[in-house]
A and B are shown apart, each in its own frame.
Chain A
Amino acid sequence: MSMILSIQNVVKRYQKHTAVDNVSFDVPKGSVFGLLGPNGAGKTSLIRMITTITAPDEGQIFLDGQKLNAESPNLIGYMPEERGLYKKMKVGEHLLYLAQLKGLSPANARKEIDVWLEKFEITDWWSKKVEDLSKGMQQKIQFIATVVHRPKLLILDEPFTGLDPINSNLIKDEIAALNASGISIIFSTHRMEQVEEMCDHIVLINRGKNVLQGEVKTIKNEYKQNLFQVETASELPDDFRNRFQISGEEKNKVTVRLESDSEAERLLRYLLDQKVRIQRFEELLPTFNEIFIARVGETA
Chain B
Amino acid sequence: MSKLKLIFKREYLTRVRKTSFIVGTLLAPLLLLVYMLVIVGLSTYQGGEALKVAVLDEGKMIGQLPDEKGVRFQTPQGKTLEQLKQEALEGKYDGVLQVPAITNLDYKNLSLYYHSDKKLAPEAKERIESRISKKVRDFKIDSLKLERKKLEALDTKISIDPEKITPGGEDQSEFTVGIGLAIGGIMSFIMFFMMTMYGQMVMRSVMEEKTNRIVEVIMSSVKPFQLMLGKILGAGAVGLTQVLIWIVLSGAVWFIMMPFMAGSGDPAQMQEAMQQAQASGVDPEEAQGMGLKLIEELQRQNWWALAGAFVVFFLGGYFIYSSLFAAVGSAMSDDMGESQSLVLPIMLPIMLAFYLIAFAGWRNPDSGLMVFASLFPLTSPIVMPFRMAFNPPMWQVILSLVLVVGSAFFFVWLSGRIYRVGILLYGKKVTFKEIGKWLFYKS
Contact = CB atoms under 8 A, between A and B. Distances in A.
A145 B442 CA distance: 30
Contacts of B214: 83-86
Nearest to B1: A100
Interface string A19-50: 00000000000000000000000000000100
14 contacts: A53-B424, A54-B424, A55-B443, A73-B221, A73-B222, A76-B220, A80-B220, A82-B426, A84-B213, A86-B14, A86-B214, A98-B221, A101-B221, A106-B1
A89 B7 CA distance: 14
B220 A78 contact: yes
Given A57-B442, A82-B213, A82-B426, A88 B220 contact: no
A87 interface: yes
A52 interface: yes
Interface string A162-175: 00000000000000
Interface in B205-220: 209, 212-214, 216-220
B10 A80 contact: no
Contact of A86 (B6, B212, B426): B212
Interchain residue pairs A-B with the least CB separation, the first 6: A84-B213, A84-B212, A101-B221, A80-B216, A82-B213, A51-B220
Nearest to A85: B214
A88 B208 CA distance: 11
Contacts of A260: none
User: Helix, strand, loop or mixed for chain A's interface?
Assistant: loop
User: Helix, strand, loop or mixed for chain B's interface?
Assistant: helix
Contacts of B7: 101
A48 B424 contact: yes
Contacts of A53: 216, 219-220, 424
Nearest to A146: B217
Interface size class of chain B, counting residues whose CB lies under 8 Å from the partner chain:
20 to 34
Given A78-B216, A85-B212, A97-B10, 7 more contacts: A74-B221, A78-B220, A83-B213, A84-B217, A98-B221, A100-B6, A106-B1
Nearest to A76: B220
Interface of B: 1, 3, 6-7, 10, 14, 209, 212-214, 216-222, 424, 426, 437, 442-443
A102 interface: yes
Interface residues of A, number: 30
B211 to A, nearest CB: 8
A262 interface: no
B212 A80 contact: no
Contacts of B442: 55, 57
A85 B14 CA distance: 14
B217 A98 contact: yes
Contacts of B217: 78-80, 83-84, 98, 142, 145
Contacts of B14: 86, 88-89
A102 B217 CA distance: 11
A73 B212 CA distance: 21
A178 B222 CA distance: 24
A15 interface: yes
Nearest to B443: A55
